[in-house]
Amino acid sequence: MGLRGEYATLLEWDYLLDETIDNPFTIELTVAITTPSQKLYKIPAFYRGDSRWSVRFLPNEIGLHKVVTISNLDLLNGKTETLEVTVSSKAYPRELRLSKNKRYLIDEDEKPFFWLSDTWWMVLSSRLDFETFKELARKRKEQGFSVIQLVAGLFPDMDSFDERGANSKGFPWSDGYASINPNYFDEADKKILYLLEEGFTLCILGSWGYYLKKMGVEKMQQHWRYIIARWGAYPIVWCLAGEATMPYYLSSSREKEERELQEGWQKVAKYIRKIEPFGNLLTLHPMQSSLFEIDASLIDINLLQASHNGYESVAKGVELLSRTRGKIPTIMDEINYEGILRNTHDQVQRLSFWASLLSGSCGFGYGANGIWQVNRVGAPFGASPSGANWGNTPLERAINFEGAKQIGEAKKFLEQFAWQELEPMQESIEPKVPKSDPRAPYVAGIGKELRIAYFYNPIAPWDIRYIFSSLEPNSTYECYFWDPQNFISYPKAYDVTNSEGKLQMPLPPSLDDWVFIVTKSTTYNLKKEANAKRIWLHEIKQKLKSLLFS
């Protein structure tokens, strides 16, 4: 028997049994696929109900593939087929990878990938109807978001089997975590596939951290095997857990549980690394930094969380970046969700974004209170088990928060530069920026070629005048302001540094927050160099003439 498929188009096929299995979740089925170039994929299959297992594969080679089943059930073991793959266009973007220097993410064309995520933790629940879900996706796509973060059914801020976590087909697991509910995931597929078809990369969290204590390591590994089998063929970034080492809200032995959770998640991460066949990246959503909660060798991306306390969180985020960035891509992934607690509205969204990007983050995670927990008009999410209610702002209002639009435009603005090469350069501005003030200017740059600075506090004519240093001496730079609220670039000027490579910033156009750009003016400097060369040649000619006729 043979299978047929097209290059870079998702393939799915089934393996059926003629008899009913009492407990299908004791059955493991893996499909080994050998490509024409002899690359081997060992892909876990997932149970679909009615004695049926499915496998999903996204081929990237043309030609005949050998397909062999491996199972602990004799009736499913050793089935051999051929898969013929023909030429076709791509159905989905390919998976992300790390850059050669492991500082940022790249796509299949090795183009730097700007991670701008929106946080939809509970989107797979039935509280978000499909039409509103599509409207939210359309808006975020238009705004320039590239990643959607969501949880695979085991949601935060609730206990097991809380009705707020169900979709129209029930819960992801049966009572007592006895078995997985395939119907739940069939329903979840509709939203997952829609987002992928719209061009988003998905960051899928397996669960919130405390479920590991409720389920145990073995059940959590089964959960992970299932979602890898379901969605691993797509362009996915796996996230081990949300706030992985945070005990359950009502825990009475928090320190003990933190240690147990850390040990347990290490085991689950190793298991994921062992069975994940597609090479999708793995990370962890932390309390502070992924690197504080998991062995660095087990993850590919370091995510940061700096909490939701306004200016205080900006200072914390910058400090976390200074401590942890460098070894692997580091992303400020949770900070000051818009509309949560205090000091988190659009102006602080801009500050949080620019402070993060100019302090070394290679992306940014946005969130809006009302969206992450899916508040609805007349049906707010309500309290978590601790009794805390994060707020009743409905999604219908949160979808239009200004901060999301503004940071989307900020991403588009930064993408015209080699943003992935930016290095924090706080020392290159005078007077020196006080590290203790999160509202002080932030500066990053690339060598002597570029400076990008963000000024949150208004600069008045009677205030200090900032000077940029460490630039090319006696060289022409193109300088201009960009308005991060209205997305307008103000007229460019060309300034020449002094003999020490310093340049004074002009006054901003108004008493608002501003982005200021200082970039090497290739055109002006080439003209200047050409003119200097002409002057030099003229002087040489004059000297030669004087020597010849003297």
| The domain made up of 2-86 is a member of CATH 3.40.50.720 | no
Which DSSP category does 504 fall into? E
- pLDDT reading at 82 higher than 90: yes
Structure tokens at 214: 């409720």
Rounded Cα distance, 108 and 110, in Å: 5
Residues facing residue 30 across a β-bridge:
44, 70
| Whole-number pLDDT of residue 19 | 82
Take residue 49 and report the two structure tokens written for it: 């109900």
- What is the average pLDDT value for the chain, to the nearest integer? 92
Shortest CA distance to 54 belongs to which of 109, 15, 93? 15
Region 281-309: what's the mean pLDDT?
97
Look at residues 471, 464, 467, 465 and name the one whose alpha carbon lies nearest to residue 446: 471
Residue 50: both structure tokens together: 């009615």
Assign 484 a pLDDT band (cuts: 50, 70, 90): very high
pLDDT band at 54 (very low <50, low <70, confident <90, very high): very high
Q: Which strands sit side by side in the sheet containing 40-44, from one edge to the other?
A: 2-6, 80-86, 63-71, 29-34, 40-44
How do beta strands 40-44 and 112-113 pair?
A: unpaired
| SS3 call for 157 | coil
How far apart CA 106 and CA 108 sit, in angstroms, is 7
Nearest Cα residue to 279 out of 328, 235, 334: 235
Distance (Å, whole) CA 382 – CA 159: 13
Mean per-residue pLDDT, 85-107: 84
359: CB partners within 8 A, 6+ apart? 317, 318, 321, 322, 424, 442, 444
* CA 415/CA 396 separation, integer angstroms: 30
What is the fold, at CATH topology level, of the domain defined by 423-522?
Immunoglobulin-like (2.60.40)
**Three-state SS for 534?**
helix
Q: Average pLDDT in the 481-510 region?
A: 95
pLDDT-derived band at 91 (thresholds 50, 70, 90) equals low
Tell me the H-state helices in 279-420.
311-324, 346-357, 395-398, 402-414
Domain boundaries, the chain: 2-86, 115-420, 423-522
Q: Are 443 and 452 in contact (CB under 8 A)?
A: yes
pLDDT at 434: 83
- CATH architecture of the domain formed by 115-420: Alpha-Beta Barrel (3.20)
Return the amino acid letter for 92. Y
543 pLDDT band (50/70/90 cuts)? low
- Are 479 and 494 within 8 A, CB to CB? yes
Residues sharing a CB contact under 8 Å with residue 402, sequence separation 6 or more, in sequence order: 345, 346, 349
Contact 223/208 with Cβ under 8 angstroms?
Answer: no
Give tens-digit pLDDT for 334-382. Answer: 999 999 998 999 999 999 999 999 999 999 999 999 999 999 999 999 9
Q: Which contiguous run of DSSP H or E holds residue 497?
A: none
Q: Two tokens at 67?
A: 């397909």
* Beta carbons of 80 and 67 less than 8 angstroms apart: yes
Tokens of 343: 């000091």
The answer to whether 467 touches 432, Cβ cutoff 8 Å, is no
Q: What is residue 21's predicted lDDT score, i.e. its pLDDT?
A: 80
What are the tokens at 519?
A: 């970039």
DSSP letter string, 371-382 = TTTT-BTTB---
Using the structure block, give the residue that is written with the tokens 């080699």.
Answer: 418
Look at residue 94 and tell me whether its pLDDT is greater than 80: no
Give the model's confidence band at 527: pLDDT under 50 very low, under 70 low, under 90 confident, else very high.
very low
Q: What's the pLDDT at 435?
A: 81
Angle at 469 between CA 465 and CA 474, to 5 degrees: 105
The answer to whether the 2-86 and 115-420 domains have the same CATH topology is no
Identify the CA nearest to 514 among candidates 451, 459, 432, 450.
Answer: 459
Distance from C-alpha of 340 to C-alpha of 309, rounded to nearest angstrom: 9
Section 84-90 average pLDDT: 78
